[in-house]
Amino acid sequence: MTEPKTPPEGGGAAPTKKPDRGALLGAGGIWLAKWSACLVVIAAAAVVIGWVIEKMWVIVLPVALAIVVSTILWPPTRAMTKRGVPPAAAAGLTLVLFFAIVGGIIAGIVPSVVSQAPDLANKATEGINTVQNWVKGPPINLRDEQLDNAVHLVIERVQGSAATIAGGVFSGVSTAGSLLVTLALVLVLSFFFIKDGPRFIPWLHRVGGGRAGRHLEEVLGRMWATLGGFIRTQALVSFIDALFIGIGLVILGVPLAPVLAILTFIGGFVPIVGAFVAGALAVLVALVANGLTTAIIVLVLIIAVQQIEGNVLQPVLQSRSMNLHAAVVLLAVTAGSSLFGIVGAFLSVPVAAVAAVVIRYIGEQIDARAEETGPEEETKALPAPGDTSAPEPDSSTVPQD
């Protein structure tokens, strides 16, 4: 039996032993298992939340639209209440003016659509016949049966897309009763939100308690500011796009120019995708009604306006309100449109913006807690995977040779 080694003379520290490889693998496995379990629980919660939203869509949709409308109507309501107008009167007056403006715009464009629709349909038929004659000649030389098959395929795709779009627009609305019922809910909820909104967060603070209420108040305040900034900024950007494109369409004599300008304004609330769809529709109408030269000019005009928006207006304005990367915006629009149709595409970016606010706030709290952690707590933490450093082992528990 060997004698235990004595410490070196001179009071030096005892030699340390390298941490066992198995212990490091075990610590890394535990770390990975904990995070995997957290991700599984988060994914399961997301699935449950998505299922609840789907089942409660008839309630979620009016609430979401009412919140969006409230962000637009809150500034004038707040201005009136600061001047002594009662909250109920201020909210009611703001709502009446808002819907009067929207209704006036719709009433103004409907006669234009009705009067120009027959002429546009006739020109569309002429345009289709011209395209058919062109593809039958050189250099394409398509046969009649090939052209018929292609037209039939396009018609099937359009019909399928129309059914999908209609289902996305009216998803949940039909189960609620009708579109009028949903609009009435949006109207009533918007009234209560802008009337009693300032009392909601203090009430939630009291219900949640001191610590949780403080976090809820801060997060909800940031979410409201971000959502309001996004809606107002996007409205400004969309208005500028619609104004310049509409002026160009009027100068070029394109039919339905006011309608196309309004569609451009509405499409601006669905970043990237909405601008592309509205622009393509304007080019198509110009091609059918005015010919190829006008269509090319409209295309150049739309590209120029979109470049100014993407390189000047969006970076300056939207970066202050959302701070979202373009890839995140595109993925959010794609996911929202695939899950909930056009309404989902419209609401996807605001949802992504408020979700980013929550993630940033959690990151701030983690950073604050990390700064408060002292050296003693750090030395007690388990080593991360791949970390070869470990606390110095106790000499009394180290097996001796």
Total-model pTM:
0.64
Share of the chain above pLDDT 90, in %: 4
What is the model's pLDDT at position 361? 87
**How far, in Å, CA of 61 to CA of 347, rounded?**
10
**DSSP string over 202-220:** HHHHHHH-HHHHHHHHHHH
Tell me: pLDDT of 159 over 60: no
Residues in the chain: 401
Confidence band of 397 (pLDDT split at 50, 70, 90)? very low
Tokens of 178: 């009708």
Distances (CA, A) of 113 to 121, 258, 266, 399: 11, 9, 17, 90
173 band by pLDDT with thresholds 50, 70 and 90: very low
Q: Which helix H or strand E contains 140, and what residues bound it?
A: none
pLDDT computed for residue 101 by the predictor: 85
- Bigger pLDDT: 5 vs 224: 224
Is residue 336 pLDDT above 70, yes or no?
yes
Q: What is the mean pLDDT of residues 176-183?
A: 68
- The rounded percent of the chain whose pLDDT value lies above 70 is 68
pLDDT band at 390 (very low <50, low <70, confident <90, very high): very low
Q: In this predicted structure, which of 65-79, 243-257, 365-379, 387-401 has the lowest mean pLDDT?
A: 387-401
Rounded average pLDDT over 287-303: 85
Q: What is the pLDDT of residue 165?
A: 45
Please report, for the chain, the start and end positions of each structural domain, with discontinuous segments joined by +: 24-55, 212-372
- pLDDT in the model for residue 143: 65
Residue 185 has a pLDDT of 86
pLDDT, averaged across the chain: 75
Quick one: average pLDDT of 5-19?
Answer: 59
Residue 45, pLDDT score: 93
DSSP 139-201: TT---HHHHHHHHHHHHHHHHHHHHHHHHHHHTTHHHHS-HHHHHHHHHHHHHHHHHHGGGHH
Q: Hey, is 342 helix, strand or coil?
A: helix
Q: Given a cut of 90, is residue 54 above it in pLDDT?
A: no
Classify the C-alpha dihedral 247-249-254-255 as positive or negative. Answer: negative
- Quote the pLDDT of residue 31: 92
Q: Using one digit for the tens of pLDDT, what is the confidence trace for 86-136?
A: 988 888 899 888 888 878 877 777 776 677 667 666 665 666 666 667 666
The pLDDT value recorded for residue 37 is: 94
Residue 149, C-beta contacts closer than 8 angstroms, at least 6 positions apart: none
